[in-house]
Chain A
Amino acid sequence: GEDVEQSLFLSVREGDSSVINCTYTDSSSTYLYWYKQEPGAGLQLLTYIFSNMDMKQDQRLTVLLNKKDKHLSLRIADTQTGDSAIYFCAETSFRSNTGKLIFGQGTTLQVKP
Chain B
Amino acid sequence: QKEVEQNSGPLSVPEGAIASLNCTYSDRGSQSFFWYRQYSGKSPELIMFIYSNGDKEDGRFTAQLNKASQYVSLLIRDSQPSDSATYLCAAPPSGGSYIPTFGRGTSLIVHP
> Are A and B interaction partners?
no
